[in-house]
Amino acid sequence: MKELEERIIKDGKIINGDVLKVDSFLNHQMDPKLFKAMAKEWKRLYEGEGINKILTIEASGIGIACIAGLEFDCPVVFAKKSKTSNTPEHSYSSTVKSFTRGTVNDIFVSNKYLDPEDKVLILDDFMATGEAAKGLADIVHQSGAKLVGIGIAIEKAFQPGGDELRSMGIRVESLARIKEMSQEDGIIFC
């Protein structure tokens, strides 16, 4: 998606070679107009698939997923990363290693918000190793719902997650796919 690629070139900062910082429009300050254009693109790509639920993971996925929920006219559920006193008793859970923090989290979703009739689109901001997306796909699988596909804002295609998920037969639609990035040569898209 040209608009997103241009924004990445304009405002993205490469950290340590394999982490892209996009805090000014995606991960900290958020640009709702850009999110709306991204949502429209996912809607176009998944037209006719009957998606009636969007699933994401806290925290960075929530903003884009919520705007996409308006476009798809459906509820948005986010997987939680920490248990609190109001954690639902009955939940689907999976284990995810965080790419940016290096920590391992149990993620969970109440069984009230996913059921076998659901046709689910998973959305997230980044795809790197695919851990987060695989954890969310596992939760959809446990619920008996249908996983229609995954929508990613920025896929770092030089990391294995996207291709691994595609080779599992899962449809992955990434709006910007980075082939290579370095401080010297900048960002090159696929």
Which residues would be at the binding site for ligand 5GP (CB under 6 A)? 19-22, 27, 60, 99-100, 124-132, 161
**Closest distance of CB 61 from ligand 5GP, Å:** 6
Instruction: Supply the minimum distance, in Å, between the C-beta of residue 85 and ligand 5GP.
Output: 26
Q: Which is nearer to ligand 5GP, 23 or 112 (CB)?
A: 23
For the stretch 111-116, contacts whose Cβ atoms lie closer than 8 Å and that sit 24 or more positions apart, written own/partner, are 111/143, 112/88, 113/53, 113/75, 113/77, 114/53, 114/55, 114/77, 114/139, 114/140, 114/143, 114/145, 115/143, 115/144, 115/145, 116/143, 116/144, 116/145
Closest contact distance (angstroms) between CB of 12 and ligand 5GP is 9
Smallest distance, ligand 5GP to C-beta of residue 135, A: 8
Cα-Cα-Cα-Cα torsion 30, 1, 163, 58, nearest 10 degrees, comes to 20
For ligand 5GP, which is the closer residue by CB, 35 or 99? Answer: 99
Tokens found for residue 168: 């599992």
Please state the closest distance from residue 48 (CB atom) to ligand 5GP, in A.
27
Q: What's the longest Cα–Cα distance across the chain?
A: 51
Nearer to ligand 5GP, 24 or 142 (CB): 24
- The SS3 assignment for 6 reads helix
Cβ nearer to ligand 5GP, comparing 23 with 115: 23
The residue among 93 and 129 lying less far from ligand 5GP, judged by its C-beta, is 129
Q: Six-digit token pair at 7?
A: 């924004």
Q: Which helix (H) or strand (E) holds 54?
A: strand 53-57
